Amino acid sequence: MSSPSLDARRSAPAVARNREPIAAMLAPLLPASGLVLEIASGTGEHAVHLARRMPHLTWQPSDPSPDARASIAAWTAAEGLGNVRPPLALDAAAADWPVGKVDAVMCVNMIHISPWEATEGLMRGAGARLPPDGVLFVYGAFRQDGVPTAPSNEAFDADLKRQDPRFGLRNLADVAACAARNGLVLARVAEMPANNLSLVFRKVMVVSPGAGPVP
């Protein structure tokens, strides 16, 4: 297999703005060791940044787009990172994912630029693969009941819907309800740059009468 071409590297302008706040949020949430699965890795810039910041963890990027996977592989090669696995061809909406149990899952800026089925798949897949109390970290723009949506986010939502009527800002309550149906509870909501939010979900620990906790 030939080496990834560095010319395949792509760049997303928002990464420079949000990668440090995301890393600061994630660091205390993640385990001391293990495998972190990133859904919809895009350019791969988040994966390599976080892998540099947290070398004690193994990072598994993924994306359904061949161009995105080429970019991820090129960034990984350019950075010389040994704790980033080759990117998986993974569609969040798919009934099955090409990966088994993981220790944490992250997803940045996917929910609003994908059909609702991708959110359902994200929650289903994370709920099935995380350990008890494991973290699903989600970043993006959302609507919140009782909270005015920033004008910039309203314009963003309209632009997304022009691109594809299936896209657009999701209501946070709907996302949390979808997560709950898959054994994930919304544990924290944090404000982030440019009117975005970080959502921290945790896998529920079910305790049966007379038994210890089970996932």
pLDDT tens figures, 134-149 = 999 999 999 999 999 9
Q: What is the pLDDT of residue 207?
A: 52
Q: Of 32, 13, 15, nearest to 139 (Cα)?
A: 15
Residue 1 within a domain: no
170 pairs with which residues across the strands?
Answer: 142
Domains identified in the chain, total number:
1
Residue 145 has φ and ψ, to the nearest 5°, of -60, 130
What is the domain extent for residue 154? 6-214
User: Do the Cβ atoms of 14 and 76 come closer than 8 Å?
Assistant: no
Flag whether pLDDT at 133 surpasses 80: yes
Residue 29 within a domain: yes
pTM reported for the whole predicted model: 0.91
Measured between alpha carbons, how far is 148 from 205 in angstroms, rounded to an integer?
34
pLDDT tens figures, 51-110 = 999 999 999 999 999 999 999 999 999 999 999 999 999 999 999 999 999 999 999 999
Flag whether pLDDT at 112 surpasses 50: yes
Q: Of 6, 134, 173, 171, nearest to 73 (Cα)?
A: 6
Of 159 and 208, the structure prediction assigns the larger pLDDT to 159
CATH of residue 74's domain is: 3.40.50.150
